[in-house]
A and B are shown apart, each in its own frame.
Chain A
């Protein structure tokens, strides 16, 4: 199966060409965030303050890694359930976020925002956390260190294997894929 190599940050043209089911190898800088960090970021936006990370063209990975063993860049780092970030995601997408990585279905609101503002959602393989950590070449905390594994990290990734689940056309691989293989 062919895989598309992509590098962050994303231009609108790159995002517009992605389609559900495509396999991607992602390289470049991405940011991590779980619900606690999203909540804090949206609070900053409410107060009219600046975010600790850039958003335009960027990708957020929903992950809370296990602690790094000595001499390692990061611990095991597979995706967490994206639904918990659904209440916050449309706000970030409207501000220019172009990609999200996680596992599990997104809400209709997030899917609508992806269509309207041109963004995509990728699935990483849930539970393949030791394998994924090999694609992560650098890691540093950029905000909320007090949140531990839930802090916002800046990651440099190389050929991180992903699958496009939601595209700018409103497609949803969770729905489509299941339909194809469901016995009638």
Chain B
């Protein structure tokens, strides 16, 4: 069963990682969900698919009052990211969903109505969470054509969606990357095949290299921390992407 782990805490400011689920059916891709809590409000990043909603909801509720959820950040439009939207709205109808303007009229197929969506312009935006300012950082074409990551300058955490994702073997349940060179082997095929644009990749590497990042938290696989963050960015910058077969 999924569990929420606190990966950052500074008084009223917390990041929870609802990390990998060993009990979910094997035919569903494993995902991580993240919750940013600040004061009286919480923001859920990439809440995941409809099938895993009960597991995510109960893991979240164990660590934070679910009625405090003010919004959902959807890095992009994939079903493993946001197909649970209708369920979160069923629990809390006034939730806001922040997502690329590109998906504003696509995501209602998963749920929500006109006032649910807050479209993010291509250049990004600031998302406020009870006084905390979070930045939606452009990551277009990585892999989705309308794609954002979420940066918390105070916690120095970058939620990087599918970038940094690793499809780890079932027996590897480490929350953090332990050995970068061994870990990255499980990320290589994914990034080569899923990330479509070399130019977008170089842009992103440059953009995030300017940020102060203690932790890079992806939607699949383990969390990069400390020196592994820059190691990942360098590895990604050098990787040939958009290839069908390696």
A binds B: no
